[in-house]
């Protein structure tokens, strides 16, 4: 790969989120959508005349001609598909969560380190313009004493034909497993390392997390709450901050982005810009937050099962109720 040549990227998975990757890849001159993969012929049809199309990711990897891949398959397949790409020596940007089980995420991260390839989890909300502005304003101000991240939506409005979101096994559990990593990543972005101190989860008859409240604490005593809701009438994605001097601040992640899911366009463009910088060596390859976020997800599930004992973000498999 010549330093000035466009990075040839394969996109694995053409579900509801893929359109944000496709536009970002097509609009960034230094990136090129070079192949796509999805088991559905209908999903592949719009790309048939422009790029190679595959129904099995292993065929896409075997065909060669790629410099990196984006993995946007259902959650339960993230670790296996990304692992195959890492084994092929390709840098990988994978949708959150990095995996649906912490040991799988740890194994994937270790494999990427051994192979010497970039592995990035697509935490798109940390690239939100309002969140970045908030992080900049907080620098040098009084310490943060309280933080609330709200991630509220009616999930059926957001998934298109991707019914796997409503399957606890394929999704990983529900709102805690799927939206939780994005929200928890924002807590880590603004507070640093934290531990889970309590959690409540409400499930529907199918066993899917519909609502959750996760409480966390930082080493210096700051308290954080993550509120998740997959049955909310409408959409609210925001961050509320309380400061030691009595001041407050916040970020509305949807403000200024008209249209349904309008905020995601600039976030996914930033994800791929960051990924490219790391692949090309313009930014450090390490430091991905996929494993720490999943550790907090599993700690939240443990805390929900044993609220009287609390939980920490220490590594270790947690499982689902």
pLDDT score of 317 = 35
Question: What is the number of alpha carbons within 13 Å of residue 264 lying toward its C-beta?
Answer: 15
CA distances to 183, 214, 243, 255 from 310, in Å: 20, 11, 25, 35
For domain 7-124+267-291, which CATH number applies: 3.90.1170.10, 3.40.50.300, 2.102.10.10, 3.40.50.720?
3.40.50.720
Helix (H, G, I), strand (E, B) or coil at 250: strand
The tens place of each residue's pLDDT in the chain, 321 residues long, gives 455 799 999 999 999 999 999 999 999 999 999 999 999 999 999 999 999 999 999 999 999 999 999 999 999 999 999 999 999 999 999 999 999 999 999 999 999 999 999 999 999 999 999 999 999 999 989 999 999 999 999 999 999 999 999 999 999 999 999 999 999 999 999 999 999 999 999 999 999 999 999 999 999 999 999 999 999 999 999 999 999 999 999 999 999 999 999 999 999 999 999 999 999 999 998 889 999 999 999 999 999 987 544 444 343 334 454
Q: Cα(170)–Cα(194) distance, rounded to whole angstroms? A: 27
Instruction: Looking at 57-158, list the stretches that DSSP marks H as alpha helix, in order from N- to C-terminal side.
Output: 57-63, 78-87, 102-115, 129-138
pLDDT score of 197 = 97
R_g (Cα) of the chain, nearest Å: 19
| Burial environment of residue 215 by CB neighbours within 10 A (0 to 12, 13 to 18, 19 or more) | middle
Reference 119, options 67, 82, 77, 72; nearest CA is 82
Question: Which residues, 6 or more positions from 283, have their beta carbon under 8 angstroms from its beta carbon?
Answer: 274, 277
* pTM: predicted TM-score of the whole model, two decimal places: 0.94
| Domain extent listing, the chain | 7-124+267-291, 126-259+300-305
| Burial environment of residue 265 by CB neighbours within 10 A (0 to 12, 13 to 18, 19 or more) | middle
Question: Which residues, 6 or more positions from 27, have their beta carbon under 8 angstroms from its beta carbon?
Answer: 269
CA distances to 69, 79, 149 from 83, in Å: 11, 6, 31
- CATH no. of 126-259+300-305: 3.30.360.10
pLDDT score of 306 = 78
Strand residues in the chain grouped as ranges (E):
7-12, 31-37, 53-54, 68-71, 92-95, 119-122, 144-154, 194-203, 209-218, 223-229, 231-243, 248-252
CB 271 within 8 A of CB 127: yes
Reference 200, options 189, 190, 210, 187; nearest CA is 210
Strands 92-95 and 119-122: parallel
Place of tokens 């970020």: 251
pLDDT score of 78 = 98
Q: Cα(275)–Cα(117) distance, rounded to whole angstroms? A: 12
Backbone phi and psi for residue 255, each to the nearest 5 degrees, phi listed first:
-65, 140
pLDDT score of 257 = 97
Burial 299-321 (b: 16+ CB within 10 A, else e): bbbbbbeeeeebbbbebeebebe
Beta bridge partners of 217: 195, 223
CA distances to 5, 22, 34, 71 from 45, in Å: 27, 14, 15, 19
DSSP class of 151: E
């Amino acid at each position: 790969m010549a330093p000035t040549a466009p990075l040839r990227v394969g996109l694995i998975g053409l579900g509801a989120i893929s359109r944000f990757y496709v536009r970002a890849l097509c609009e960034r001159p230094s990136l090129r959508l070079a192949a796509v993969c999805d088991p559905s012929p209908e999903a592949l049809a719009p790309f048939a005349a422009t790029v190679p199309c595959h129904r099995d990711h292993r065929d896409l990897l075997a065909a060669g001609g790629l410099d990196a891949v984006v993995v946007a398959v259902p959650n339960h397949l993230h670790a296996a598909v990304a692992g195959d790409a890492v084994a092929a020596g390709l840098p990988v940007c994978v949708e959150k969560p990095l995996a649906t089980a912490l040991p799988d995420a740890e194994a994937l991260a270790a494999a990427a380190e051994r192979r010497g390839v970039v592995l990035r989890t697509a935490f798109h909300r940390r690239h939100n313009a309002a969140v970045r502005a908030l992080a900049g304003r907080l620098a040098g101000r009084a310490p943060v004493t309280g933080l609330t991240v709200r991630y509220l939506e009616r999930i059926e409005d957001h998934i298109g034909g991707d019914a796997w979101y409503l399957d606890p096994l394929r999704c990983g559990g529900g709102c805690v497993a799927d939206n939780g990593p994005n929200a928890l990543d924002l807590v880590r972005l603004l507070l640093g390392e934290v531990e889970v101190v309590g959690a409540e989860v409400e499930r529907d008859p199918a066993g899917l997390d519909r609502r959750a409240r996760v409480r966390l604490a930082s080493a210096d005593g700051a308290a954080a709450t993550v509120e998740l809701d997959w049955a909310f009438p409408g959409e609210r994605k925001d961050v509320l901050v309380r400061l030691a001097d009595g001041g407050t601040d916040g970020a509305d992640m949807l403000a200024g982005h008209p249209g349904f899911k309008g905020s995601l366009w600039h976030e996914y463009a930033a994800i791929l810009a960051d990924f490219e910088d790391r692949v090309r060596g313009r930014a450090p390859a390490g430091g991905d937050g996929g494993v720490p976020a999943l550790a907090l997800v599993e700690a939240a599930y443990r805390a929900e099962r044993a609220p009287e004992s609390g939980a920490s973000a220490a590594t270790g498999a947690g499982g689902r109720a």
